[in-house]
Amino acid sequence: MRCIAIRHVAFEDLGAFEPLLRERGFGIDYRQAGVDPISEDDWMQADLAVVLGGPIGINDLPLYPWIADELQLTAMRMRAELPLLGICLGAQMMAAALGAEIYPGPSKEIGWSELTLTRAGQASPLKHLAGVPVLHWHGDTFDLPGEAELLASTALTPHQAFSLGRFGLALQFHPEVRGETLEPWLIGHTAELGHAEVDINRLRVQSKQHAAALREAGRAMLDAWLRDCGLLARGPVPV
């Protein structure tokens, strides 16, 4: 099987998800947003497509015209009901492609905290994240698309995750982050962290405390979702 992952900055990759995907038989094909071409045939023939996070936003379209192409690819994948995972910016791409408004949240949400799962979320693959702090790192948020089912919230961001049937999963937070590779995030986003007055040392300590548990919970969540999508045989989630 083949996974195409659109990457916006080098250090925000599939992270802890990549080893699991390779274990489950996926080849990983990264495409750099704004640089690497993606044909419609290539995109639609991939077994799994992932749109990863990044420091830009949907409303930066006048500065980054290729965002329109990425939105179009995202919409095509959803119309065809093909497996699509959106993380952070990718979740906003999914919401925007469905016609939802994207706008700045009340403040930046950067740090580790637990999700509040909806009833649907508790019955979804996100059940594996219950009680596990996840990494939040975003400034924008979005309205919930009419076709979507809300799965999770936080006090600051009511729309943290949504699903589209069994084929689409949008996650505003970062379940894929690896604690051992977080330092490039702290370096690459230093201007944003400084502007938001985030205590980098505290964020680093929190990451050491929570990253290992998130890795295991995120692995179980992704495995369950891949099975729901029909990309893996149903049955017990391997340890």
CB of 133 within 8 A of CB of 113?
yes
The encoded tokens of residue 232 equal 């893996």
Catalytic residue among 8, 136, 138, 174: 174
> How many Cβ atoms sit within 10 Å of the Cβ of residue 107?
9
67-79 and 89-97 are packed helices; what angle lies between their axes, rounded to 10 degrees? 70
Q: Is 128 among the catalytic positions?
A: no
CB of 11 within 8 A of CB of 181?
yes
Catalytic residue among 136, 176, 210, 229: 176
Report d(CA 55, CA 167) in Å as an integer: 26
Q: Is 176 among the catalytic positions?
A: yes
Catalytic residue among 88, 189, 210, 229: 88
Chain mean position to CA 103: 18
> How many Cβ atoms sit within 10 Å of the Cβ of residue 179?
20
Q: Is 174 among the catalytic positions?
A: yes
Amino acid at 62: P
Residues marked as catalytic: 88, 174, 176
